[in-house]
Amino acid sequence: MKRIGLIGGMSWESSAVYYRTINEAVRRRLGGLHSADLVLASLDFAEVVALQRADKWSEAGALLGGAGARLRAAGADFLAICTNTMHIVVDDVASHSGLPVLDIIDETASAVISGGRRRPLLLATRYTMEHGFYHRRMERHGLEVLTPDAAGRSDVHHIIFDELCRGVITPSSRDRMLDLIDNGLRAGADCVILGCTEICLLLTKGTLRCPVFDSTEIHALAAVDLALSDGLVEQMPETA
């Protein structure tokens, strides 16, 4: 089994989901008392958010890359960044750490394509929905990404940072998300990507009436597949 290096804490609420999902999958695959061989670098999310708000992405990349380097020193064979937004700096993380990074965008795109879908509605932080890096990566896979309107994007961003990252779950926010999904489907979306690793705390596949792709679950299970495989990703992520 390869050692998984998780860069987490962004927020720790979703990092806990990663830890549980990975270990449950290893137990299903190997049986008995097996669990994952992994190491976790949990960052102070407040520091990361300050860099995001200041548009200091290069510094953020160095911060996460330093965490990746520490994971490499701890014996990690590859990295998984436990957040969609910080894949803005995925190439910096690979460069600073010297380890391959399992990319959440590529893994989610593959799942959407395997599901026979082409026009996903993306629910995520404002950075992920508006920066452009996510759309460009998805377009390389032949996918056309839709997002909510400006008011909807603002609401999703608020729900993520002011509620989900703080462990707050409210029925009104769930209803707002469901309304945005209905609007997206009427606009031509054929599925939904839960493109922030905290959204799975609020929405589950059972609550939605359309195909849903949970990036947290997809990414965590892909990490298990890689950890238990004979091969290892050699190529660093492409520039977004």
Catalytic residue positions, numbered: 83, 196
Q: Cα–chain-centroid distance for residue 44?
A: 17
Counting every residue written for the chain, the total comes to 240
Spatial CB neighbours of 202, under 8 Å, sequence gap ≥ 6: 159, 164, 169, 173, 174, 177
Residue 233 gets the label, from left (phi > 0), alpha (psi -120 to 50) or beta, of beta
Residue 118, CA distances (Å) to 73, 145, 206, 219 in order: 40, 8, 21, 19
CA–CA distance, 18 with 22 (Å, rounded to integer):
6
Using omega within 30 degrees of 0 as the cis cutoff, is the peptide bond preceding 11 cis? yes
112-139 b/e (C-beta count within 10 Å ≥ 16 → b): beeeebebbbbbbbbbbbebebbbebbe
The token pair at 240 is: 């977004």
The token pair at 210 is: 């359309």
The token pair at 61 is: 């990349």
